[in-house]
């Protein structure tokens, strides 16, 4: 594809100071992200060449790194500059930026080595949710939450999430929603919201869930629109008896859920509050250029 300026739109990579072809093989065998999953990551959505809620994403990246005692070599401003350069080089206007920080490259040992952290990044065309799913709603399945106790860290260790997502996919569902101690936590790659009696509910923040950036945006939109919202621990029964359900993530945005393990939610169609919030979310990201926290090219 070629953009209006005649520049090829391409997926690109970045590792430790240089931009590379996405096909280039660059990960050393002793990279701790490869050996141990010893690192953290972020995914940022790009709309019309502008990274959306970049400050919030990068601040969370730094919090995750601090939680696992990794010291990135780049400041927030330097990370923004690298992201901007990558978007410009790629020529992509609508994209996903994946950023990964690991403890670095060192011969395999469990205790921390004395080496600089590694930074890698990819910029690829965005993966869009189908209009059919947006129009008709998706289905999810409930699963026991077998992940570690510190899900608030956006860690590379995602094997339980991957297994849950695959099990859901194999059974014909879009997502797996986790249950821990009888309570809904979150999806395998999403946060969960419920609408019941015109009130929006979502699981409160704790170490058991990730503080989703889209989750944060939706909570803000509820306040702006005058929609009642409560952060509440939800039982499986409360969840299944809801009027509406939707999930949120950077790449999924807001997606209505109309079926849980074969049981219809509400009238089986995307609900009015879900649709209202998604419309408001679209207005929010389309106004990215006017946001104070924008990344300036």
Catalytic residue among 80, 154, 165, 208: 154
Per the CB < 8 A criterion, the answer to whether 117 and 71 are in contact is yes
List for the chain the helix, strand, coil content (%; round to 5). 30, 30, 40
Which of 201, 191, 189 has its CA nearest to residue 234? 201
In the chain, what's the furthest Cα-to-Cα distance? 58
The per-residue DSSP string of 12-43 comes to: EEEETTEEEETT-----TTBHHHHH--EEEEE
The per-residue DSSP string of 139-164 comes to: EEEEEE--S-S-TTS-BS--HHHHHH
Per the CB < 8 A criterion, the answer to whether 153 and 65 are in contact is no
CA angle 224, 127, 135 (to 5 degrees): 60
Per the CB < 8 A criterion, the answer to whether 234 and 183 are in contact is yes
165 catalytic? Reply is: no
Is residue 229 helix, strand or coil? Answer: strand
Per the CB < 8 A criterion, the answer to whether 54 and 97 are in contact is no
What residues are labeled active site? 154
């Amino acid at each position: 594809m070629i953009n209006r300026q005649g520049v090829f739109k391409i997926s690109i990579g970045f590792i430790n100071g240089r931009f590379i072809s996405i096909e280039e093989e660059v990960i050393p065998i002793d990279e701790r992200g490869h050996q141990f999953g010893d690192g953290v990551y972020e995914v940022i959505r790009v709309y019309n060449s502008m990274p959306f809620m970049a400050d919030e994403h990068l601040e969370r990246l730094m919090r995750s790194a601090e939680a696992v005692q990794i010291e990135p070599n780049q400041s927030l401003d330097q990370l923004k500059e690298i992201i901007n350069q990558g978007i410009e080089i790629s020529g992509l206007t609508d994209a996903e930026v994946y950023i990964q920080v690991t403890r670095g490259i060192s011969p395999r040992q469990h205790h921390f080595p004395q080496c600089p952290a590694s930074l890698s990044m990819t910029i690829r065309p965005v993966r869009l949710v189908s209009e059919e799913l947006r129009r008709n709603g998706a289905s999810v399945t409930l699963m026991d939450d077998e992940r570690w106790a510190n899900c608030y860290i956006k860690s590379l260790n995602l094997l339980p999430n991957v297994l849950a997502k695959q099990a859901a996919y194999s059974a014909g569902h879009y997502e797996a929603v986790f249950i821990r101690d009888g309570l809904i936590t979150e999806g395998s790659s999403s946060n969960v919201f419920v609408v019941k009696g015109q009130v929006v509910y979502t699981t409160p923040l704790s170490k058991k869930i990730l503080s989703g950036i889209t989750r944060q945006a939706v909570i803000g939109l509820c306040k702006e629109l005058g929609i009642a919202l409560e952060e509440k621990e939800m039982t499986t029964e409360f969840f299944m008896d809801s009027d509406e359900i939707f999930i949120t993530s950077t790449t999924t945005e807001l997606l209505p859920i109309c079926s849980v393990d074969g049981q219809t939610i509400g009238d089986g169609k995307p609900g009015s509050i879900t649709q209202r919030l998604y419309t408001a979310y679209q207005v929010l990201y389309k106004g990215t250029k006017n946001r104070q926290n924008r990344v300036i090219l």
